Amino acid sequence: MKQQSPSKEVLCRELYTKTGYVFAKSPAEIAAASGFDEVAMLGSNENPYPPSPAVLEAAAAALAAANRYPDPKAGEFVAALRRYICDHPVVTSGLGMDGVIETVIRALVSPGEKVVVSTPTFSMYGLAARAASAVVVNVPRAADFSVDVDAFIAAAADAKLSFLCTPNNPTGTVTRAADIERILSGISGVLFLDNAYVEFCDTDYLPLLQKYDNLIIGRTLSKVYGLAGLRVGYGFVPAWLEGPYAAAATPFTLNRVSEAAAVAAVADTAYRDTFIAHVRKWRETFVREIPFPVLASGANFVLFDVAPMTSNEAMEAFARAGVLVRSCASFPGLGETFVRVSVGDVWENERFLAAVKRL
Ligand SMILES: *Cc1c(COP(=O)(O)O)cnc(C)c1O
């Protein structure tokens, strides 16, 4: 008879048996439980509309050449970014901005070195830094979720790499460009500015790239451009980082289909601008009509406080009403009572507003 042996799970790093990325609950699970055919998908800050016909056509055409490796430098995408967004050294990732974050950490940070994160925020910075055996230092935001600039500078002054998200996920908070500038001149290392939602706000951080050679701006096609399913991210980086980033990256970052789609998406400014206008309009409606304290947001979502209910209780109540929102209980430093809701399609937003008023 086979001997009962202890589980080989002990071979895994404890980091991955005990923690990991928390995904939004699957809509299929919720739909099945709630009896709705279609669930309002307002939990992941996606664009609710499919890519434009130009993007679908470009992607389909690229698929026909899938037998060939893609361009390792994603040259056409880089050219499109430099033409349509900012003429500055740029790096790309076929694993979304998540992949840019991982590669930047790999290029800069050795085991045991300090990585500073402004919290509460997106979990990926801490997860990727710990995966690289870095020491993560969290710097809490003020009570209104604005960045405590002095505390951030004090913690980050001697760190090689620090992370700040603006507009911040999940609070929606926009940090003033002047505050970012003060941080950039107050630290000796690199600041990674996560601009996943920047297209939805009024602040432009790109001019800072001209002035500071310790700034990385991370961006994504997952939100405003509607390509979350293709995993395309990019970053504007100082020129000195371009070579080491390429050396640290997994080869062939974008694939042929995602690159072709991304080039067409960036060129389709009408699709982007229409969605931005839709988000701004509905974001105001959400702030006005949600009968709970709501934070001002520069993103395509808002955060509201359902106390004395907990965020998990509220999320389940929304699910029963056919609406998928994000319970923010998993964001360290945020407490147990915040819910994040994305701006979706009109019927989704209306179903959400009806549900939140009955909560
Ligand atoms: C969605 C998101 C990203 C990255 O998304 P990708 O799909 O990996 O490009 C990065 N940062 C924040 C704050 C996000 O919310």
Determine the pLDDT at residue 6: 76
Asked if 203 and 174 count as a contact pair (C-beta separation under 8 A), the reply is yes
What's the number of CA atoms in the CB half-sphere (13 Å) around residue 65? 14
Determine the pLDDT at residue 4: 66
Instruction: Give the tens place of pLDDT for each residue, 172-188.
Output: 999 999 999 999 999 99
Residue 36 structure tokens: 């709705």
Nearest to residue 318, comparing CAs of 31, 90, 121?
31
* pLDDT tier at 36, thresholds 50, 70, 90: confident
Determine the pLDDT at residue 15: 79
Q: Is 7 helix (H, G, I), strand (E, B) or coil?
A: coil
Ligand 1 pocket by C-beta < 6 Å: which residues?
45, 96-98, 122, 165, 169, 194, 196, 220, 222, 228, 233
Question: How many separate helices (H) and strands (E) can be counted in the chain?
Answer: 14, 12
Asked if 124 and 271 count as a contact pair (C-beta separation under 8 A), the reply is no
pLDDT of residue 120 exceeding 70, the answer is: yes
Instruction: Give the tens place of pLDDT for each residue, 134-147.
Output: 999 999 999 999 99
Return the DSSP state at 216. E
DSSP 312-334: HHHHHHHHHTTEE-EEGGGSTTS
pLDDT of residue 14 exceeding 90, the answer is: no
Residue 181 structure tokens: 């500038």
How large is the average pLDDT for residues 32-50? 90
Determine the pLDDT at residue 341: 98
- Please, what's the largest Cα pairwise distance for the chain? 70
Return the DSSP state at 47. -
Ligand 1 centroid to residue 219 C-alpha, Å: 8
Q: What is the C-alpha to C-alpha distance for residues 124 and 266, in angstroms, rounded to an integer? A: 25
Q: How many CB atoms lie within 10 A of CB 134?
A: 22
Q: What phi and psi values does residue 100 have, to the nearest 5 degrees?
A: -65, -45
pLDDT of residue 27 exceeding 60, the answer is: no
Q: CA separation (Å) from 315 to 30, 108, 356?
A: 10, 38, 10
Q: CA separation (Å) from 5 to 10, 61, 296?
A: 12, 52, 55
Return the DSSP state at 300. S
Residue 306 structure tokens: 């359902």
Q: How many residues are there in the chain?
A: 359
Ligand 1 atom 2 nearest Cα: 196
Determine the pLDDT at residue 231: 97
**E strands, the chain, in order:** 40-41, 90-93, 114-119, 135-140, 161-165, 190-194, 215-220, 233-236, 301-305, 323-324, 326-327, 338-342
Ligand 1 atom 12 nearest Cα: 196
Among 21, 103, 122, residue to substitute to test ligand 1 (most atoms within 8 Å of Cβ) = 122
Q: Is 156 helix (H, G, I), strand (E, B) or coil?
A: helix
Domains with residue ranges and CATH for the chain = 8-50+270-358 (3.90.1150.10), 53-268 (3.40.640.10)
Q: What is the C-alpha to C-alpha distance for residues 344 and 104, in angstroms, rounded to an integer? A: 32
Instruction: Give the tens place of pLDDT for each residue, 274-330.
Output: 999 999 999 999 999 999 999 999 999 999 999 999 999 999 999 999 999 999 998
Q: What is the C-alpha to C-alpha distance for residues 129 and 106, in angstroms, rounded to an integer? A: 9
Nearest to residue 173, comparing CAs of 146, 139, 200?
146
Structural element, H or E, at residue 90: strand 90-93
Determine the pLDDT at residue 37: 85
**What is the pLDDT of the chain when averaged over all its residues?**
94
Residue 7 structure tokens: 């589980």
pLDDT of residue 356 exceeding 80, the answer is: yes
- Indicate which atom in ligand 1 lies nearest the CA of residue 223: 1
Q: Which of 35-44, 80-89, 117-126, 222-231 has the lowest mean pLDDT?
A: 35-44
Nearest to residue 195, comparing CAs of 210, 180, 213?
180
Determine the pLDDT at residue 16: 80
Ligand 1 atom 9 nearest Cα: 96
Q: What is the C-alpha to C-alpha distance for residues 83 and 95, in angstroms, rounded to an integer? A: 22
Percent of the chain with pLDDT over 70: 95
